[in-house]
């Protein structure tokens, strides 16, 4: 499922979630989850520079801690960063205090007002605590770059077929997604440019 339309009940329970931006724009919003890591993130930054694109990196605190120089590189090159928890913690099935503690730990390393829950799954009680501090950024276009059954070509197609003005697109700067990402990202950037989109980072 590449084009993620949240069911109505999800939108009602979580009115503060942002799935996309209004269509009256010439921009799309690329996001990269689960980094930063030295094997892939610098390569992503080079691709973005080549196409004059900006993006938002939803970082894991544990990776920022291990690779502060890569995290700094993201900011120095003009991209925005978001909190994606410290340890990629699952909201469902995790005590809310433990969950918020994990987000706080990431916050001490990242400093941002943007948050994306790992797996897109979070309990209302957790949203309640975090909504004073964060804008919750979800997505409407999932590249599925992490899928082992999808080819890089399929991944690029997924994105380019369904993207529309205001879309929030998800990729992963992770080892799991590396093969598909390295194939698909240049094609997607080229395709978005050809469609006339500006590629911007999210700053709210
Ligand atoms: Zn993630």
What digits encode the pLDDT tens for the residues 87-117? Answer: 999 999 899 999 999 999 999 999 999 999 9
Catalytic residue (choose from 33, 102, 145, 201): 33
Q: How far is the CA of 187 from the centre of ligand 1 (A)?
A: 23
Give residue 66's pLDDT: 98
Average pLDDT, the chain: 94
Catalytic residue (choose from 67, 79, 84, 172): 172
* Dist. CA 36–CA 152, nearest whole Å: 21
- In the residue annotation, 33 being an active-site residue is answered as yes
> Would you say 135 and 18 are in contact if contact means Cβ atoms under 8 Å apart?
yes
Q: Which pLDDT band, with edges at 50, 70 and 90, does 84 fall under?
A: very high
CA count, 13 A, side-chain hemisphere, 130: 33
* Dist. CA 161–CA 154, nearest whole Å: 10
* pLDDT exceeds 60 at position 1: no
* pLDDT exceeds 70 at position 198: yes
Segment 146-173 mean pLDDT: 95
Q: How far is the CA of 109 from the centre of ligand 1 (A)?
A: 17
Give residue 16's pLDDT: 84
- Domains annotated for the chain, with CATH where assigned, are 8-200 (3.20.20.370)
Q: How far is the CA of 155 from the centre of ligand 1 (A)?
A: 17
Give residue 22's pLDDT: 93
Element (H, E) at 180: helix 178-194
* pLDDT exceeds 70 at position 3: no
What digits encode the pLDDT tens for the residues 129-141? Answer: 999 999 999 999 9
- In the residue annotation, 98 being an active-site residue is answered as no
Q: How far is the CA of 196 from the centre of ligand 1 (A)?
A: 29
> Would you say 181 and 43 are in contact if contact means Cβ atoms under 8 Å apart?
no
Q: How far is the CA of 9 from the centre of ligand 1 (A)?
A: 23
Position with higher pLDDT, 3 vs 64? 64
Segment 8-25 mean pLDDT: 83
Segment 164-185 mean pLDDT: 97
């Amino acid at each position: 499922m590449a084009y993620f339309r949240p069911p109505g009940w999800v939108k009602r329970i979580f009115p503060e979630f942002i799935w996309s931006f209004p269509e009256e724009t010439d921009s799309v919003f690329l996001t990269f989850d689960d980094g930063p890591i030295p094997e892939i993130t610098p390569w992503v930054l080079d691709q973005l520079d080549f196409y004059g694109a900006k993006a938002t990196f939803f970082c894991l605190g544990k990776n920022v801690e291990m690779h502060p120089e890569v995290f700094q590189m993201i900011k120095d090159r003009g991209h925005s960063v978001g909190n994606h928890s410290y340890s990629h913690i699952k909201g469902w099935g995790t005590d809310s205090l433990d969950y918020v503690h994990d987000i706080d730990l990431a916050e001490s390393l990242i400093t941002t007002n943007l948050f994306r829950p790992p797996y897109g799954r979070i309990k209302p009680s957790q949203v309640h605590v975090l909504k004073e501090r964060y804008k919750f950024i979800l997505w409407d276009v999932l590249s599925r770059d992490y899928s082992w059954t999808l080819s890089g070509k399929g991944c690029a197609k997924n994105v380019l077929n369904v993207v529309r003005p205001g879309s929030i697109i998800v990729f992963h700067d992770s080892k799991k997604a590396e093969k598909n990402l390295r194939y698909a990202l240049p094609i997607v950037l080229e395709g978005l440019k050809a469609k006339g989109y500006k590629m911007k980072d999210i700053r709210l």
